[in-house]
Homo-oligomer: A and B are copies of this chain.
Amino acid sequence: MTMTRTRSKPSAKREAILDAAQRLFLVEGYAATSMDAVAAGAEVSKATIYAHFEGKDQLFAAIMHRRCEASFAFASPDESFDAERTFTTYAERLLGLLMTPDAMALYRVVVAESARTPELAQAFYETGPIRGKAAIAASVACLQARGELATDIDPLVIADQFIGMLRAETYHRALLGLPEGRSVAKTIAAAVQTLMRAYGKR
């Protein structure tokens, strides 16, 4: 009752600040978001923000952690699926996540700040991409053990290549705010086909 650790008590104001900051950072970007705007959005005074967070940097870091934790909670496909269906399911889930406006906006800001704030980029990479990749690699290893995929290739390499193909043209255009090129469905189908032709055992 006497303790008041900053992190443990999610006061209403604190949550309001986080919500407003998330909305603004992801829509406007880091530099273009002012603390005044966050204060206005949270209907809170600026001084209150500084009572809860050390500064703009820390506030953004808090947002990023929150988003990554929420986003990359990644259910694996059913283990009874064959290789093709496993890949397809992963692809749909991954792109469904990555193509979210929020996820793309977060990624834009992380990329932009990575040159000046490597810790941020590292935290992002470890709570985000690495977990997705590990999940896919684990499934690949499982499929290899079952004899559905060739075994003379590192599961991590397959996972990287798969994610790379999924993040090619279609995702890339969306990230840059350009009109859609190839459809997501075609991108997925093509990536799955390539991996199956290269490493499938049927």
Which of A16-24, A56-64, A66-74, A168-176 contacts its partner?
A: A168-176
**What is the predominant secondary structure among interface residues of chain A facing chain B?**
helix
Q: In this assembly, does A161 line the interface, its C-beta being within 8 Å of a C-beta of chain B? A: yes
Interface residues of A in 144-201 (CB under 8 A from B): 153, 157, 160-161, 163-169, 172-173, 175-178, 182, 190-191, 193-195, 197-199
- CA A125 – CA B171 in complex, angstroms? 13
CB-CB under 8 A for A166 and B169, given A115-B105, A175-B111, A178-B118: no
Nearest CB in chain B to that of A26: its residue: B115
A window 25-46: CB within 8 A of B: 27-32
State how many residues of chain A have any CB contact under 8 Å with chain B: 48
Select A164's contact among B31, B115, B166, beta carbons within 8 Å. Answer: B166
Question: Considering the chains assembled together, what is the distance between the CA atoms of A182 and B161 in angstroms?
Answer: 12
A198: contacting residue among B177, B182, B194, CB under 8 A: B194
A109 touches B110 (CB 8 A): no
Chain B residue nearest to A171 in the complex (CB): B164
How many copies of this chain? 2
Fill in one digit per residue for A116-142: 1 if any B CB lies within 8 Å of its CB, else 0. 101001101100010001000000000
Contact assessment for A175 and B114 in the assembled complex, using a CB-CB cutoff below 8 Å: yes
* Residues in B whose Cβ lies below 8 Å from that of A32: 31, 116
Residues of chain B within 8 A (CB-CB) of A161 are: 165, 168, 190-191, 194
Chain B nearest CB from A191 CB (Å) reads: 7
Roughly how many angstroms separate A197 CA and B176 CA in the complex, as a whole number? 32
The 8 residue pairs across chains A and B that have the minimum distance between CB atoms: A164-B168, A112-B112, A31-B31, A197-B198, A198-B198, A121-B176, A164-B164, A160-B169
Q: A interface vs B, CB < 8 Å?
A: 27-32, 105, 108-112, 114-116, 118, 121-122, 124-125, 129, 133, 153, 157, 160-161, 163-169, 172-173, 175-178, 182, 190-191, 193-195, 197-199
